[in-house]
Chains A and B, each alone.
Chain A
């Protein structure tokens, strides 16, 4: 697990705290990571020293419960539910530490819970709508840049035929349009990939939230 993955997992486990608090926690760990790097530790050692993101999140949530006297009392149990539904399963062996030692049966159960949750999610009619939308967006995102680049390349090639016919104005216009289309296609590609990633992340969060409610 890299530091970025560790941080993302911690972030996902802290959805129930305020954005300000979440930012503060992430800044704290970014500072701790940088300080440990300066002290000569490698990324892997630092992650081991930080412990499992789940444990770090649980400590923060428990502290919030203590300080707010129950205001955030559902947060820790919400984390437990979400943890059972995915994060714990994804955790590498070396990251499981004391948590895994204390909860071996929970780890096995969590895998079954994930399978059960996926089956339940498939029975939930809006899931098929979500799958259709995701499929449609992926197809559009894959097709759009290819179309732009293809049309652009076609226009550039055609422009040279115009040049052969002595149509300098048409040649320049087509050449310009061709390069603009190719440029747009190249620019669109990373933007659309980011968009798809964001959409999948949002869907994942939404399902984690629904799962935590049960």
Chain B
């Protein structure tokens, strides 16, 4: 996937997560010039997203992603082949990927919240959620949103404590 496509998806995810004010930034660690934040000793408070070309064997047949841990880091694995398979003329790639990113960031920041009956935390989305002009919204409860915000702030504090 191109960096432009990734940025469009990140903007989509930012839009979905905007009400939560995470104060986060996306860092493309596979850009031609690797940003400093991607160094080997980056803080454990950082979140990691790995976009894999093919789904992992242990993933459910229809899963688009898995959230978990990789080493000391909270990591989301996203299966690009399955994201691509969902793309249609009205269901744009960056919209689908943006939803998946927002969904996984939510899992990483509020793992105990699980899935919900509506919004981006539904276990599976309908076509209407992902089509252009579809009805999706973040749909997170106030409690989950607060939890995510608190988690993000805590990680930012930890990040700077680790540097001391």
Are A and B co-members of a single complex? Answer: no
